A and B are shown apart, each in its own frame.
Chain A
C-alpha cells in the first residue's frame, strides 16, 4: 500500500514494523512511551507493544546508551532515542568508548546491534542545544556507522535496515523535515530495499554535483530547480550514509560533471565536507574543473533562533557556491 505520509510518520511506521518483525527489538528513551516522544515518532508504540518493549527511561542519556549495551550483550536490539542533538553528549562516552569498540575489543564476539536515533539540525526556531549537527563527531569514530534519511520513503526503510544491521548505527533524523510528506510503500520488503550504505542520485544532472544529506537535501534540490531556470543542470546526491561514505557514487558523478559542492548545516571545520573534498580531490583530480567547494554552517556555536536563517545554508548560498565553481 503506497501512502503519502510525513517523514516523522514514516519513521513511526518503520519502528512499528521493526517491533513486529523481531521480538528482541526494544525502544528506549525519555518520553518515548506514554507521550510517544516529543516529536511523536514513537506515538502509539507503547500502547501496542507494552511497557517492556517501549521503555520510558530515567532522564539520563549515559544510562540509556549504557544499558542498551548490556541489553545488546544479552541478545536484545535496542533502539535508543536521544531527545535532541544537543543532549547526546552525556552519552558520548558510552558511545565512543564502548559502543564503537566492543566488537573490536571482544575479538568479534560481541556485536552491538544498537540504533541511536538523534533528531538533528536547525531551522525550527528553538533555544540552545536543540538545533545542532554533531554528525562528524560520530562519523569520526571507527566502529560506528552513521546514516541520515532525507525523505519519507527512506525514513521508513532506513530505520528498519538500521535495526536489522549488526553494526551500531547512529541514525540522524532531519527534525525540520519531520512534517514534509512523501510517498511510502508500506508493504516494501526489506530484502528489496536500496542498500543502507549507498548514496542515491536524487536528481540527475550534468553540470555540477551537489552533495547533501538529511535536511539539506531539500535545500539542494530547491537550488537545483532554481539553477535549472538559469540553464544550469545540477546533479544532487543524497549521501544517506555518512560512515562509511559511498564514494563510488560520488566519484562517478563528479567525474562526469567536473564540479562538486558539498552542503551541510554543521560547521565547516573538520566536517563531512572536508573529508569529501579530500577524497574527491585525491580520486578525481584530473576531472575537476574547480576545487570542491563547501557550503556549511559557520565555525561558531549554533546562534540564537532569530538569526538562524542567516547561519543555515540556503538556496542562495548553494547557488553562490555553484557560481563560484563555474567562475573558477
Chain B
C-alpha cells in the first residue's frame, strides 16, 4: 500500500463535531436526521447539514416509480419467505420488514463497480443489485450455507457472526486503494452493512480504526432498527451511533432510514466521496424492525404493541405511495400493477424454493480445501462405503 507515500494531512478531516442535522418534522430523534420525504409523503427539497453538505435527489418520474416498485417487491418477497418458513419450508427467516427503504435506497446508491458486504438481513440490497432473489434461500432452507461467489455478484456471502464482515469490507476497501482504484468518479467503493447491536463488537470498532488509518474507500451503513434481538439500543450505546465516527476521525451522519430518498442521497454522496479518495464514513439509518428478529423470536416478550404501532405511521412504503399519488407520478392502475407483478415474483420464488433439491449427503465433504485433503477424501470414501452397506436393506 502506498502508505509511506501519503502526505501527512492528505486525509480529509471530518467537520468538527460531525454532521449535525437540521431537525425536520416531529418524527426525528433528538439530534435530528436527514429526511427528504416525510412520513406524510411531503418532499423536502434539500437538506444541508452542519458540515456544509447539501443532500437532495433529482429523480425522473420513471426512477421514482422504479424505487416504489422495488420497495413493494422486496416487502412482498419477504412476506413470501415468512410464509414459507411458517409452512416448514425454511428453517429460519430473518425478515427485513420495516427496513425496505434503508436497503433499497442504499442498494440503488451503489454503482456497478461497488462491493457490498451484507449481514444476513440484506435481501433488499441483494435484490436492488439485480441478483436473483432466490440466492440466499439455500441458506435459510438449510440446503447450503449461503454459497455464492462474492466477486461475481459484487455482493459478499451473508455473514452470521455479528460484525465480522465489517473487517472484511475494510480489507477489501484497502485493496481497492492498493490497486489504485480510487481518486476518480469511476473509482470503486465498498459498503459494509451491520446492525445497531453489532456496533458493540470489537471487530466493528477495529474496522473503524483500520478504515480511518488507511483512509479506506468504505461506507459503514448501520441499520439502527432499535433492537438486537431483545435488547434495545440503550444496551449498546449512550450516544447516538452516528456520533461514534467522530472518535475514529471520519464523518458520521444520521438519516431517516425509512426515507428511501434520504437514504439514497446520503449513501450515494458518501460512496462517491469514498471512491474519490476521501476515505470512510458512517451512516446511521434510523429505522425499525417491524417484525420479529427472526422467525425463532417472540418480540411480545420485550416490546409493547404501541411502539410497533407508532412506527407503522412512519412506514417507508406508504410515504412514497402518498408522494407519487399527490404528484400524479403514479395512479391506482400503476399501484395495482406493481402489486400484481410483485405477487407473481413471489409465487415464482415460492415454486423455485419448493423445488430446491436436498443436497446429496456426500457433498458435505466438498470444498473443505481447494485441493482436497487425504484425510477428508478418506472419510468421504469411508462414508460412501458405510452407506452402501445399507443398500437393499430397509434402512
Considering the complex, which residues of chain A in the window 274-324 have a beta carbon less than 8 Å from any beta carbon of chain B? 298-301, 303-307, 310-311, 316-317, 320
Decide: B197 and A304 in contact? CB cutoff 8 A: no
The answer to the question of A200 belonging to the interface, with a C-beta cut-off of 8 Å to chain B, is no
Decide: A90 and B200 in contact? CB cutoff 8 A: no
CB distance from A68 to the nearest CB of B (A): 16
Given A127-B139, A127-B142, the answer on whether A56 and B160 have CB atoms closer than 8 Å is: no
Contact partner, B361, options A87, A125, A310, Cβ 8 Å: A310
Contact partner, A304, options B120, B142, B301, B302, Cβ 8 Å: B142
Q: Which residue of A lies closest to B228 (CB)?
A: A59
The answer to the question of B383 belonging to the interface, with a C-beta cut-off of 8 Å to chain A, is yes
Considering the complex, which residues of chain B in the window 132-153 have a beta carbon less than 8 Å from any beta carbon of chain A? 138-146
State in angstroms the CA–CA spacing of A166 and B140 once bound together.
Answer: 42
The answer to the question of A235 belonging to the interface, with a C-beta cut-off of 8 Å to chain B, is no
Q: Which residue of B lies closest to A129 (CB)?
A: B160
Decide: B230 and A35 in contact? CB cutoff 8 A: yes
Interface string of B284-301 (1 = CB under 8 A from A): 000000000000110001
Chain A residues within an 8 Å CB radius of B202: 60, 62-63, 90
Decide: B386 and A59 in contact? CB cutoff 8 A: no
Given A58-B236, A127-B92, the answer on whether A301 and B368 have CB atoms closer than 8 Å is: yes
Decide: B235 and A56 in contact? CB cutoff 8 A: yes
Considering the complex, which residues of chain B in the window 316-368 have a beta carbon less than 8 Å from any beta carbon of chain A? 358-359, 361, 363-365, 368
Contact partner, A299, options B91, B358, B376, Cβ 8 Å: B376
State in angstroms the CA–CA spacing of A129 and B197 once bound together.
Answer: 18
Contact partner, B301, options A34, A87, A305, Cβ 8 Å: A34
State in angstroms the CA–CA spacing of A320 and B395 once bound together.
Answer: 14
Given A298-B365, A300-B364, A307-B364, the answer on whether A59 and B200 have CB atoms closer than 8 Å is: yes
Decide: A90 and B201 in contact? CB cutoff 8 A: yes
CB distance from A18 to the nearest CB of B (A): 22
- Interface size of B in residues (CB-CB distance below 8 Å): 46
The answer to the question of B162 belonging to the interface, with a C-beta cut-off of 8 Å to chain A, is yes
Chain B residues within an 8 Å CB radius of A38: 229, 296-297
Interface residues on A, range: 35 or more
Interface string of A121-155 (1 = CB under 8 A from B): 00001111100000000000000000000000000
Decide: B144 and A304 in contact? CB cutoff 8 A: yes
Q: Which residue of A lies closest to B146 (CB)?
A: A128
Given A304-B359, A307-B361, the answer on whether A56 and B231 have CB atoms closer than 8 Å is: yes
The answer to the question of B391 belonging to the interface, with a C-beta cut-off of 8 Å to chain A, is no
The answer to the question of A31 belonging to the interface, with a C-beta cut-off of 8 Å to chain B, is yes
Chain B residues within an 8 Å CB radius of A303: 145, 364
Given A127-B160, A306-B359, the answer on whether A30 and B231 have CB atoms closer than 8 Å is: yes
Decide: A31 and B229 in contact? CB cutoff 8 A: yes
Chain B residues within an 8 Å CB radius of A300: 364-365, 368, 376, 379
Q: Which residue of B lies closest to A34 (CB)?
A: B302
State in angstroms the CA–CA spacing of A304 and B236 once bound together.
Answer: 32
State in angstroms the CA–CA spacing of A294 and B375 once bound together.
Answer: 15
Considering the complex, which residues of chain A in the window 34-52 have a beta carbon less than 8 Å from any beta carbon of chain B? 34-36, 38
Q: Which residue of A lies closest to B364 (CB)?
A: A303
Decide: A127 and B140 in contact? CB cutoff 8 A: yes
Q: Which residue of A lies closest to B164 (CB)?
A: A90
Given A34-B230, A38-B229, the answer on whether A305 and B201 have CB atoms closer than 8 Å is: no
Chain A residues within an 8 Å CB radius of B201: 59-60, 90
Chain A residues within an 8 Å CB radius of B120: 127
The answer to the question of A269 belonging to the interface, with a C-beta cut-off of 8 Å to chain B, is yes
The answer to the question of B53 belonging to the interface, with a C-beta cut-off of 8 Å to chain A, is no
CB distance from A164 to the nearest CB of B (A): 29
Considering the complex, which residues of chain A in the window 71-110 have a beta carbon less than 8 Å from any beta carbon of chain B? 86-87, 89-90
Contact partner, A126, options B91, B302, B383, Cβ 8 Å: B91
The answer to the question of B270 belonging to the interface, with a C-beta cut-off of 8 Å to chain A, is no
Decide: A306 and B146 in contact? CB cutoff 8 A: no
The 6 closest A-B pairs by CB, nearest first: A305-B142, A35-B230, A58-B200, A310-B361, A303-B364, A59-B197
Q: A35-B229, A298-B379 are in contact. List 4 more A-B contacts (CB 8 A).
A: A38-B229, A59-B228, A299-B376, A305-B91
Interface residues in chain B, defined as those with a beta carbon under 8 Å from any beta carbon in chain A: 91-92, 120, 138-146, 160-162, 197-198, 200-203, 228-231, 235-236, 296-297, 301-302, 358-359, 361, 363-365, 368, 375-376, 379, 383, 386-387, 390, 395
